[in-house]
Structure 1
Amino acid sequence: MSQCLNPDCLHINPDGSQFCQKCGSKLRLAERYYAKSILGQGGFGRTFLAVDDFKPSKPPCVIKQFLPQAQGTATLEKAAQLFDQEAQRLELLGKHSQIPELLAYFTADNRQYLIQEFIEGETLQQELDNQGAFTENQIISLLKDLLPVLDFVHQNQVIHRDIKPENIIRRASDNKLVLVDFGASKQVQRTSMSVTGTVIGSAAYCAPEQAMGKPQYGSDLYSLGVTCLYLLTQVSPSNLYDPLELQWVWREHLNDNQLSEKLGKILDRLVETVFNKRYQSVAEVWEDLRRYYGKSP
C-alpha cells in the first residue's frame, strides 16, 4: 500500500500505484520514496513509515514532512527555520550509531522533506505501558546507555531540548537506546547561551531555565532525570513536583519499587531546579555513577 502525501488527501492506494487514485498526486517522492503509513504528527510536521525504492532490499525509512500548524508569517518562518535546522543537526549527529542517520533533505511540491533512518523498536513510553515501572537496575542501564549519546550531542555544541520517553527508542536489533527527534534541538553559538530564545520542548520534562528560553547543556540532563523519575513511578512529572513546597515528591510515588539512596542522590541532582546545583555535564554524572557503583555501574 502507498499513502498519499498530500496533506488534504492522505488516501491509501494499492501497491504499484504511481499516482493517488483520489487526488492525482504523485506517490513516489523524489522518484525514490514511497510512504506506507503515518507514524505520528507534531507541531511542525507529519512523519511516515516509508520505503526506499532505489535500493534492492527496499529498506524502510522515515519521511518527515514539514507541515506547520502555526499561523502567521513570522511563526511559519521560524517553524521552517527549525525544520531546516533539524536536517542540519541530523547530518552532523547521525554519524553516531544511536542517533538516526539523515538520508536526504529536499523540497518537493513546495514542501520541505527530511528522510531519515528508520529505527525499529519500542519507545520507552511504549515499554512502560507494556511492562510497567522500571526497576533501579533498568534505570542504571538506561543512564549507562544514553549518557555517552548525550555527551556526543553536547560535544557537537547541540542541546536536544526534548528528551522524554517518547523520544528514546530501544532498537529491536541490539536493545541499544536510540535518541530521536531533533526537531527541537539547538545549535549553540558562543554568544547564544545567555540570549533568550524561543521556548521549545515538552513542558513536563522542561528545565526551568529552558522554560524561560535559556536552555543549557544541563537542561538536557534535567529532562533525562525527569524521564527516569517518570519511568520509576509511572506518574506524570507534573504530579511528582510540589509547586507549593517547591520540591520534588517523587519518592512518595515509588509504591513498592525499591530504590537505593545512591541512585536517589543522582536523580535528585539531575532534576535540581536550581541550575548551579544540578550536574553541569555528562562527565559529572559519570563520575558519581563510578563512585557509587564502581567502574561498571
Structure 2
Amino acid sequence: MLPWKIKGNDESENSFTCINPDCTAPKTKVSFQAPEQFLESPVNCHNCGGKLGWKSHGGELYFLKSTVGSGMNGSVYKACKTTPNGFEEKYVVKFLRRRGGASIKECRRELTREVKSLQKAYEVGARVPRYIDCYFPTTEEEQNQYNNFFLVQEFIEGKNLTSLLQSRREKITEGNKVNNYFEEKELFQYLIDLLETLHLLKQQNILHRDIKPQNIIQRSIISDKQKEAGGNKNLYLVDFGSSKPLEPGIENERHTKDHPRTPLYAPPEILRDTDLEKLQLDRDRYQSLIGDFNSDISLRKHRWTRDIYSLGITIFDLLIEIPRTISYRYHPSHKEWSNWMSELREKIPNLYPILERMTRFYPDERYQTAMDALVEASAQAWYIYGDREGEDKSWLFKEKLLNDLSNEETQQTINVLPQKQQKFVRASQDEIERKKEEIKRQKIERYSKYKRPENK
C-alpha cells in the first residue's frame, strides 16, 4: 500500500492535485513517496478515490501539480511525468471543457482541431507551446465521468500579460501621474513579436480567434546563458481551443461565430443575437450599422482581420486598462470608446496610428493581413529607435520575413510601399547582405589561417 500523507496546499515534490468535482477536499493535494512499482500502478486520491495519474495515448503517466488557469475552453494544470529516474516537470495538461452535453465525437473533433493547429504552428516556427500528446475516451467509455479529454503541451515558464500588467501596476509609485505601465518602445516590440506569430499562423491557414492578454505568455529567463545574452523574453501565444484551421475549398473554411470567445477583445462584426439581447440593443439598429459584415461571406473575406483586431485591443489594454463597462463595441462612434482612445493617442503617439487601424470598427478598414501591419510597425519602430540611433539593427526584417513580404500571397511588393517602409526594406536587405559578406569573410580567414604554406 502506498504511504499517503495529506499536505494541504503545499506544492512539494510528490504533491498532486485531484480534479474530481465531487471530491470532499478538491483543493487538497496528496503527497507520498513513490515506490518503484508506482511507475506502473494506478494512484487514487486519498479523499475521494478519484485517479491522480492521467495516462495519454502515448502511454505516459502524468500527474497534476498545480492550477495554471481556467477558462471557457477548459482547465490547465502544470504537470509532471513519471520516468525511471523520478518525475520530470516541464509539462502542461489541458482538460477540455465539454459544453452543452457535447458528444464524444464532437469533443474528439474539437481536440483534434486544437492539436492540428498547435502542430502546424509550431512546425513553421511560431512561438506557441510544443504539442506532446493527448487522450480522448472511446464511445463505450462515455458514461465514465473520469474519462476526460486532455492534451499535453510544453510548459512555458513565465507570466501572461494580465499577470505582468498587475505586477507593473503594483510597482507604480503615487508620484507617477502618467501611470504608463509599459513604455511605448516595449509595446512596439510586443506588437511586432505577436504580428510575426500571426503572420506564421496565416501561412498555415490558422485563425486563433481568442487573442487576449491571458493567452499571451512572456517567457522568463531560464538560464544564466540566456541571461547573459539578454534573456529570452519573446511572447508566446497559447490556448488554441478556439482556433480554426482553414483549408481552402472545403466546408470548414466557412467562418462561424458559435464558439467560445472573449467579447471584450472580439471584433464587433461577430456579435451574436444573444449578445445583443444582453445589451438590450435593437438587432435592426445594430444590423444597419454593421451592414453585411457579419454575414458568412463577409466574415470569410475579412477573416484575417479578426485576430489583428483582438491583438490591437490587447496592446491598448496593457497601456490603459479598457473600462469594463465597454464589454461590447457595437457602434463606430461609441462615446466612451472614443474618450478612451483619445487618452491613448496622447500616451503612445507613434504607435497609436497602427493600433487604431488594427482596431477599426469596420473590417474592410483594418489591415487585411498581419504582414500589412507588421511591415508598418517594424518600419516605424526602426525609424524611431533604430535609424535615428544608428546602431540598433534589431528592428530590421530577417531574411525569411523579407522573402515573405515580396511573396505574391501578401499582395505587396517593395515598389508600392510608402517611402518610409521602402527605406526600411532596403535597410533590411543591406543588413542581410552585410551579414552574408561577414560570414563569407570569416570563412576565408579561417581557411587562410589553417591552410598549409606551400613548399618552396
TM range, normalised to the smaller chain? Answer: 0.7 to 0.9
Matched positions, count: 293
Match of 1:47 among 54, 76, 81: 76
Larger Rg: 2
Amino acid in structure 2 at the alignment position of 1:91: Q
Amino acid in structure 2 at the alignment position of 1:94: Y
Q: Deviations over 1:215-271 (max 9, x none)?
A: 61110000000011111112337549684824742334449x6322x4221011000
Amino acid in structure 2 at the alignment position of 1:23: C
Amino acid in structure 1 at the alignment position of 2:22: D
Amino acid in structure 1 at the alignment position of 2:90: P
Higher relative contact order (CA 8 A, sep 6+): 1
State the match for 2:94 in structure 1.
64
Amino acid in structure 1 at the alignment position of 2:189: S
Q: Which moved more, 1:169-178 or 1:285-294?
A: 285-294
The alpha-carbon deviation at position 25 of structure 1 amounts to 3.0
Q: Which moved more, 1:101-110 or 1:111-120?
A: 101-110
In the alignment, the residues of structure 2 paired with residue 71 and residue 281 of structure 1 have an alpha-carbon distance, to the nearest angstrom, of 34
- The structure in which a higher percent of residues are strand is 1
In the alignment, the residues of structure 1 paired with residue 17 and residue 306 of structure 2 have an alpha-carbon distance, to the nearest angstrom, of 38
Q: Deviations over 1:195-224 (max 9, x none)?
A: 545243210100123445746111000000
Gap change, CA 1:195 and 1:167, over 3 Å in 2: closer
In the alignment, the residues of structure 2 paired with residue 73 and residue 58 of structure 1 have an alpha-carbon distance, to the nearest angstrom, of 34
State the match for 2:224 in structure 1.
none
The alpha-carbon deviation at position 93 of structure 1 amounts to 1.9
The alpha-carbon deviation at position 158 of structure 1 amounts to 0.4
Amino acid in structure 1 at the alignment position of 2:50: S
Q: Does residue 30 of structure 2 align to residue 13 of structure 1?
A: yes
Tell whether the 8 Å contact from 2:76 to 2:94 is kept in structure 1 after alignment: yes
In the alignment, the residues of structure 2 paired with residue 64 and residue 177 of structure 1 have an alpha-carbon distance, to the nearest angstrom, of 20
Match of 1:23 among 48, 55, 59: 48
In the alignment, the residues of structure 2 paired with residue 223 and residue 238 of structure 1 have an alpha-carbon distance, to the nearest angstrom, of 18
Gap change, CA 1:20 and 1:97, over 3 Å in 2: same
Q: Which moved more, 1:163-172 or 1:236-245?
A: 236-245
Tell whether the 8 Å contact from 1:229 to 1:237 is kept in structure 2 after alignment: no
How is 1:124-203 mapped onto 2 (pairs within 5 angstroms)?
Answer: 124-132=161-169, 133-173=181-221, 174-191=232-249, 192-193=252-253, 195-203=255-263
After superposition, the CA RMSD in angstroms is 2.8
Unaligned runs of 5+ in 1: none
Tell whether the 8 Å contact from 1:44 to 1:79 is kept in structure 2 after alignment: no
Amino acid in structure 1 at the alignment position of 2:18: C
Match of 1:268 among 343, 356, 363: 356
The alpha-carbon deviation at position 116 of structure 1 amounts to 0.6
Gap change, CA 1:237 and 1:142, over 3 Å in 2: farther
State the match for 2:315 in structure 1.
228
The alpha-carbon deviation at position 144 of structure 1 amounts to 1.8
How is 1:53-92 mapped onto 2 (pairs within 5 angstroms)?
Answer: 53-54=82-83, 56=85, 58-68=88-98, 70-73=99-102, 78-92=106-120
Amino acid in structure 1 at the alignment position of 2:76: T
In the alignment, the residues of structure 2 paired with residue 130 and residue 82 of structure 1 have an alpha-carbon distance, to the nearest angstrom, of 34
State the match for 1:2 in structure 2.
16
Tell whether the 8 Å contact from 2:257 to 2:270 is kept in structure 1 after alignment: no
Name the SS of the counterpart of 2:149 in structure 1: strand
The alpha-carbon deviation at position 8 of structure 1 amounts to 2.8
Name the SS of the counterpart of 1:115 in structure 2: strand
Tell whether the 8 Å contact from 1:19 to 1:25 is kept in structure 2 after alignment: yes
Gap change, CA 1:291 and 1:47, over 3 Å in 2: closer
- TM norm structure 1: 0.87
The alpha-carbon deviation at position 103 of structure 1 amounts to 0.8
Amino acid in structure 1 at the alignment position of 2:238: V
- TM norm structure 2: 0.58
In the alignment, the residues of structure 2 paired with residue 150 and residue 237 of structure 1 have an alpha-carbon distance, to the nearest angstrom, of 26
Q: Deviations over 1:22-64 (max 9, x none)?
A: 2223322215211112222223422111112237571321111
Identity of aligned residues (%): 28
In the alignment, the residues of structure 1 paired with residue 71 and residue 167 of structure 2 have an alpha-carbon distance, to the nearest angstrom, of 23
Name the SS of the counterpart of 2:111 in structure 1: helix
Tell whether the 8 Å contact from 1:204 to 1:238 is kept in structure 2 after alignment: no
Unaligned runs of 5+ in 2: 1-14, 35-42, 138-145, 170-180, 222-231, 272-293, 384-394, 397-456
Tell whether the 8 Å contact from 2:114 to 2:243 is kept in structure 1 after alignment: yes
Gap change, CA 1:121 and 1:46, over 3 Å in 2: same
Gap change, CA 1:111 and 1:272, over 3 Å in 2: same
The alpha-carbon deviation at position 171 of structure 1 amounts to 0.3
State the match for 1:287 in structure 2.
375
In the alignment, the residues of structure 2 paired with residue 7 and residue 205 of structure 1 have an alpha-carbon distance, to the nearest angstrom, of 30
Q: Which moved more, 1:8-17 or 1:181-190?
A: 8-17
